[in-house]
Amino acid sequence: MSAPASKSPATLHDVAREAGVSLATASRSLNGSARKVNEAYRQRVVEAAQRLGYTTNLFAQAVAKGSTTTVALLVADIADPYFSSIAAGVINAASEEGLVVTIAVTGRNAQRELDTVRALRGQRPRVMILAGSRTTGSAFEEQLRLELSSFEDTGGKVAFISQDAAPFATVLLDNYGGARDLAVALAGLGYRDVAVIAGPPEIRTAEERLDGFTEGLAEHGITLPPERIIHADFTRDGGYRGTQELLASGASVDLVFAVNDVMAVGVVSALRDAGIVPGTGIGVAGYDDIPTVRDITPALTTVRIPLEDVGRRALQLATGTAYDGGTAGVGAGPEAIPTETIIRGSTPRR
C-alpha cells in the first residue's frame, strides 16, 4: 500500500482566497507593511492564515525589505559562561524590539569568523554583533572589515564587543584598567610573589589584561618575571595545564592570576590536584565574574563586568536605541564599560 501524498503547504494565494481579499491585501496584512490595511480585512487574513497553517516566508520578506528581523550574534565559545551571559543580554534586548537572535560560534578562529560573516550576509540579518577579543596580526582582519562595511552599505548594522573596532559601533571593555585595579588591590592584601596564567599572546584581551596587571603590580614595586607568565588556551583546561607547568618549574608563588574566570577554575583544580589548598596555600584570582565563580570553594576573587548589560548595550547601539558614548581605545575611562574588583575567599589577606 502506497503512502498518502503529503499535503502541500498553504500559499499566500490560498490565504487570500480563504479570506476573500486580494493578494496584495493578504500580503500587507501579514508582512508588516507600512501601508495601512483595514482592520477587519487584516483580522480576516490572520484568521485565514491560522486555519490554513500558513507561515510567512521570512527569506522572501528579507529580499523584499532588505533585511530580516534577525540579529546574528557571533561568539567564540557558547559553552563559556562569559559569552552565554552576553548572549542573554542580547536576547533580552532583542526581544524588547521584536527581534530574534541566532548564535554562531567562531572558536576564536579568524578565518572561521570571516567565513561565518560571509555566510550570514546571505541570510540578510538586520544586525550582526561580534563578541570576543580581536587577534593581533590577523591576516583576515582587513577582509572582515570589508565584509562588514559592505553589510552596512546595504542597510545592515554592526556592533563589536571588546576592543575598538572603528568605524563600527563598539562596546568597549576596559581590560587594561580592570586588571590594573585588581593588581593594586591584591598588592594591598600583601601578595608579592605573583604568577599569571595568560591566554594566547595573539589574543588582545589576554594581552591587555596581562599588561594592566603588570602595571598595577609595578605601582607597588612588584615585578613580574617572564618565567612566571604562562601562556595557555583561553579555557578551563588551559588554566589547568598552565598551572601544572608553573608548579613543575618550581617557582615559589603566593598568588596566581588567570586572565579569565574559566581559566581560573582550571587553576583551582590543578592546585587541589597538586595537594595545595587554593586560597590558603596559594591565592587565585580571575577576571569577568561569571556566575559560576561565586559558588566554587573558595569563592573566586575577580573583576566584575556587567556581562548582560554589555550584550544589551551592543544590541541597542546597533539598532540606534542607545547613545554611542564613543569608541576610544584601551583605558577609555568613562567611555568604557566600568569594572569592579571583587575580593572573595580565594585571596585572603597575607
Instruction: Tell me whether residue 326 is in a domain.
Output: no
Does the residue 328 lie in any domain?
no
Could you give the CA distance from residue 68 to residue 58 in angstroms, rounded to a whole number?
7
Residue 240 three-state SS: helix
Same domain, 235 and 288: yes
- Alpha helix locations (H) across the chain? 12-19, 23-30, 39-52, 58-65, 81-96, 110-121, 141-153, 175-188, 204-218, 236-248, 261-273, 307-319
pLDDT of residue 140: 83
Looking at the fold, whether 242 and 198 belong to one and the same domain comes out as yes
CB 54 within 8 A of CB 7: no
Return all residues near 306 (Cβ < 8 A) that are at least 6 apart: 337, 338
Any domain includes 347: no
For residue 287, is it within any domain? yes
Q: What is the pLDDT of residue 61?
A: 55
Q: What's the CA angle centered on 327, arms 148 and 261, to 5 degrees?
A: 90
- Say if residue 257 is in the same domain as residue 299: yes
In 3-state terms, what secondary structure has residue 170?
A: strand
Give the gyration radius of the chain's Cα atoms: 25
Is the residue at 110 inside a domain? yes
Give pLDDT, residue 164. Answer: 72
Tens-place pLDDT, residues 125-172: 999 999 976 777 678 888 999 999 999 988 899 999 987 777 899 999
Residue-level pLDDT, tens digit, the chain, 350 residues: 444 444 677 888 888 999 999 888 888 887 655 567 788 888 898 888 888 887 665 555 554 454 578 999 999 988 899 999 999 999 999 999 999 999 999 988 888 999 999 999 888 899 999 997 677 767 888 899 999 999 998 889 999 998 777 789 999 999 999 999 999 999 999 999 999 999 998 888 999 999 999 999 999 999 999 999 999 999 999 999 999 999 999 999 999 999 999 999 999 999 999 999 999 999 999 999 999 898 899 999 999 999 999 999 999 999 887 644 444 333 333 368 999 999 999 999 99
Number of domains present in the structure of the chain: 3
Closest to 290 (Cα-Cα) out of 276, 279, 300:
300
Q: For residue 326, count other CB atoms closer than 10 A to its CB.
A: 14
